[in-house]
Structure 1
């Protein structure tokens, strides 16, 4: 089997490329050229039967990911399948299964089976959980345990996998020298760092990177190069440890492309607003335009319960500066496992951020969407406004709850609707769209 990237390099437009071109309103040849160059990634494992491919990268709509998955406190998969559907219904372009519950294999297979959007995983989560069960400790995990888990996820149909290859002994030394408030907040990053320090060995994901690429190529898995040293608070942003890892990730992008493996590069994290644009431009330069997948960025540390908003603020600027893929943050971030309502709120908040950025980037269709909404508002066409809303469910509910009897104007202005008054005096009767 060959990969989308290898086929693109050979001049072939695949069905997945054609599907992405249709979604984006672009020429199939444009998608092929960008996949060949590595600036667009199509996450599409050959074993994900229910998948409708999505494209991530240069010139495409900003995409949104939703994290779901079981935990030791909530091990049942059924609520996560409900969250999967809620995320898709709210417009998520991908989901990540971060399961650490009782039967991780079953959870992953069920989520992949039921998902029509790309599914990402973090194999080190399962490898460490199983190491604790079978060997008694995370640090007793072997490199082969980790690689066997990675191959299992690939076989099961994971479309992209977060792999923390960029944490090396050199970057850990830089971290120690730097000093941080929150040290390492990436769960996968902490696992591999603890293993490396205890065993006094180099990161096997870095040492055996070519073997990792062979697994990804066999199933056309996109490697999502994890940012294990991402800043976990504003005070740690854009420090030397973060940049040390980024430099390594840039080299690993080149090595993946040389094997025909598609790449996403993950990024921060908690970043003050005035540093976000520089972070994005630096990543794009070092990683040669590879699609950038960011968590947030969260622009303040003091808003638990509202971190979907802090992330949307940062996500807008990040995407406008060139980030391609936003990992949602829910109101439950830093507090607990998200509910279905949290999932929905997180997806919508990130979609708003992505669309606001798409207006800036001139993504096809973004401007036309806003213009259609403006015309519907001018016409007091409530049905059309709700249809065009990014969250029609909430818009429709608020409209019906606060406007008894379907009044023509909203109950905020009532008889004093500005658009209605000005239209009358300008002699321009309001007309439905």
Structure 2
């Protein structure tokens, strides 16, 4: 490891190990999952959790950042016989913002020839699905989504309101193929990102989350961004977007992609703008097209493209409280007004589809006119653009391109469902991918919370992927701690949405943790949580001794006022005397109390005081 190479976070989470399940249609598959063990006294099997962390949490795999990850999907892609290797474009000074000398991030040391579709071929998962082909990626996804729940068949509870989603008891490879063919789900998997472990985004699957990283013109380096990516997926990010806007964009992105086991998304417009010196009016289709090919060759899995910003929509934003808050949206609006014409993204959208089709880059159709304040939510500009995104979806589908739709933004709770309903109606049920939404504007520094509320709601209503918001939103570039906070917040929101939708396996981990809590298995409580380290540290702040890990109380209530300890006493007495006798005792006026001589004071409720 040299000074130029970043050190990243590795090693398993507490009480966890990496397990793999094999395929049936494609036996060579090894689908990773995280197995969380519980104490032997529980008499319960381990809990299986979805795991996007890649080999970084597998102590049996040695990772080298300089070499990148194993090229898991390369043989799958080439075995289909519809791609060709070629030399690709050479890196140019403008690709890295004309950085030079010590300011230039070194190139990734390994360069493979890029692949593209043979002439006349479509190499997208959508094209294969429509042809009735179950690819290795599709079976991989099916196994991954099930989380081993086939062993729980007949024991799973369906309890929730799915709002029209059709979540199966068991995900089959054929179900995945059908959902992708229908356009209701996407598998973002560029043929030049063979290091990625396939995942799926769709409302009939687990709700996914995205983490944004990226340098800016004033801060952050390649080492920091690679570590942010690894750190984000360690805590549960399903995809990562590189939103770099400073120098070294090309080289930083190469390091990230080569070391990422999850799909990587970008906004190509940001790099194109750097190539023309940051002057929006100087952008051209030729510069943008070259940037798309550059990033597709590197292996970017999905592009955010703000093609829905139409010239005649821009006046609709004039009376807004916060105008146009999307970076991409504001850039294209400025270009349209200067040239007084439709954007080159809109005019050349069919050609953009041809590029994406050749590499299987999925679309994330950007909401350039999303509301940046609750005052602007659900206005004419936002919904006019959404209508155009629906039209562009049909064009992309006709070209066999995978599509998801980006959504807001800042939306008060009572207006959230209208966003989901309208998106489903006008975009043909293409997956929805939302930033939050933030439900109030009064909490800078806490917008991970304001947005987590909206994210849980819109995830329940049908959004397929949630883009995280960190505490630094609106304030600055997030650091490592902010990334973790944002990811954990959105894992909570996504899981809460899965529970509310009635996902068959969602409750398994909740129930296991609840039993551990009731039985005072403290280590199991920590280990089954989303953030074991934080849970353990909070407990140990007041009860640090190892003996306290066996105590039947915590520092909140102490040994005499612990409701669960009292419940254990009730249960033991009920089992001893029989529930019928206990019921009779209560009917006769028996009080539930802890004897005064044990606590120093009776627990009988006093008037005006909480019981």
Q: Please indicate the TM-score interval, normalised by the length of the shorter structure.
A: over 0.9
Cα distance in 2, alignment partners of residues 205 and 316 from structure 1: 32
Distance of aligned partners of 1:65 and 1:428 in 2 relative to their CA distance in 1, 3 Å threshold: farther
Structure 2 residue aligned with 1:106: 251
Give the Cα–Cα distance (whole angstroms) in 2 for the partners of residues 420 and 113 of structure 1: 51
| SS in structure 2 at match of 1:265 | strand
Highest Rg: 1 or 2? 2
Alpha-carbon distance in structure 2 between the residues aligned to 1:302 and 1:265: 27
The correspondence for 1:332, drawn from 448, 460, 472, is 472
Change (3 A) 1:263 1:216: same
Q: Residue 498 of structure 2 aligns with which residue?
A: 358
1:72 paired with 2:217, answer yes
Q: Does 1:94 align with 2:239?
A: yes
Distance 1:356 1:51 in 2: 27
Distance in 2 (alpha carbons) for counterparts of 1:144 and 1:402:
62
| 1:139 paired to 2:281 | yes
**Residues 1:7 and 2:7 are matched in the alignment:** no
Paired position in structure 2 for 1:17: 138
Match of 2:512 in 1: 372
Q: Name which of 73, 79, 82 aligns with 2:227.
A: 82
Which of 325, 331, 353 is matched with 1:185 structurally?
A: 325
More moved, 161-170 vs 410-419: 410-419
1:410 lines up with 2:554 in the alignment: yes
CA distance in 2, matches of 1:291, 1:103: 32
CA RMSD across the alignment: 1.4
Corresponding residue number in structure 2 for 1:160: 302
* 2:188 equivalent to 1:43: yes
Across the two proteins, how many residue pairs are aligned to each other? Answer: 425
Which has the higher mean CA deviation after the structures are superposed, 184-193 or 69-78?
69-78
CA displacement 1:212-261 (0-9 Å, x = unmatched): 00011011000000000000011111000001000000111111111110
Query: How far is the alpha carbon of 1:429 from its aligned partner?
Result: 11
Mapped pair 1:55 → 2:200: yes
Counterpart in the other structure of 1:119: 264
Q: Distance in 2 between matches of 1:56 and 1:402?
A: 42
User: What's the counterpart of residue 64 of structure 2?
Assistant: none
- Provide the C-alpha distance between the structure 1 equivalents of 2:203 and 2:567, rounded to a whole number of angstroms: 42
Q: Deviations over 1:401-428 (max 9, x none)?
A: 3322242121112212211122123217
Paired residues of 1:41 and 1:291 also in contact (CA < 8 A) = yes
Deviations 1:162-195 (A, max 9, x none): 000101112224334xx21111000011111111
1:129 pairs with 252, 257, 274, which one?
274
Q: After the TM superposition, which residues 201-280 of structure 1 pair with which residues of structure 2 at under 5 Å, given as runs?
A: 201-280=341-420
Give SS of 1:283's match.
helix
Taking structure 1 as reference, are residues 282 and 428 closer, same or farther at Cα in structure 2, changes over 3 Å only?
farther
Q: Which residue of 1 aligns with 2:316?
A: 174
1:130-165 Cα shifts (integer Å, max 9, x gaps) = 1116xxx22112111111111211111000110001
Higher relative helix content? 1
3-state SS of 1:352 partner: helix
The runs of 5 or more residues in structure 2 that have no matched partner are 1-116, 118-122, 147-170, 576-611
Residues of 2 paired with 1:285 and 1:141: CA distance? Answer: 34
Q: Does the 8 Å CA contact 1:24/1:364 hold for their aligned counterparts?
A: no
Q: Which consecutive residues of structure 1, in runs of 5 or more, have no partner in the other structure?
A: none
Written as runs of structure 1 = structure 2, the 5 A alignment for 1:303-342 is 303-342=443-482
- Is this contact kept in 1: 2:284–2:344, CA < 8 A? no
The separation in 1 between residues aligned to 2:411 and 2:344, in whole angstroms, is 29
Question: SS of the counterpart of 2:442?
Answer: coil
2:517–2:525 Cα contact (<8 Å) kept: yes
Cα contact 1:291–1:323 (8 A) shared by 2: yes
Mapped to 1, the partners of 2:570 and 2:341 lie a distance apart of: 78
Q: Is the 8 A contact 1:34 1:58 kept in 2?
A: no
**Take 1:100 and 1:75, find their aligned partners in 2: how far apart are those partners?**
11
Give the match's secondary structure for 1:61.
coil
User: Does the residue aligned with 1:426 lie in a helix, a strand or coil?
Assistant: helix
Find the counterpart in structure 2 of residue 383 from structure 1.
523
Whole-angstrom CA distance in 2 between matches of 1:281 and 1:403? 49
Distance 1:237 1:423, change over 3 A: same
Q: Deviations over 1:303-345 (max 9, x none)?
A: 0100000010000111011111000000000000001000000
**How many Å separate the matches in 1 of 2:289 and 2:574?**
68
TM-score normalised by L of structure 2: 0.68
Q: Residue 174 of structure 1 contacts residue 244 of structure 1 at CA under 8 Å; is this kept in 2?
A: no
CA drift of 1:393 comes to 2.0
Confirm or deny that 1:343 pairs with 2:464: no
Q: How far apart are the structure 2 equivalents of 1:198 and 1:429?
A: 79
Within 2, Cα distance between the matches of 1:276 and 1:157?
Answer: 34
TM-score for the superposition, normalised by structure 1: 0.96
Q: Whole-Å Cα distance in 1 between the matches of residues 536 and 504 of structure 2?
A: 27
In the TM superposition, what is the alpha-carbon distance from 1:49 to its structure 2 partner? 2.3
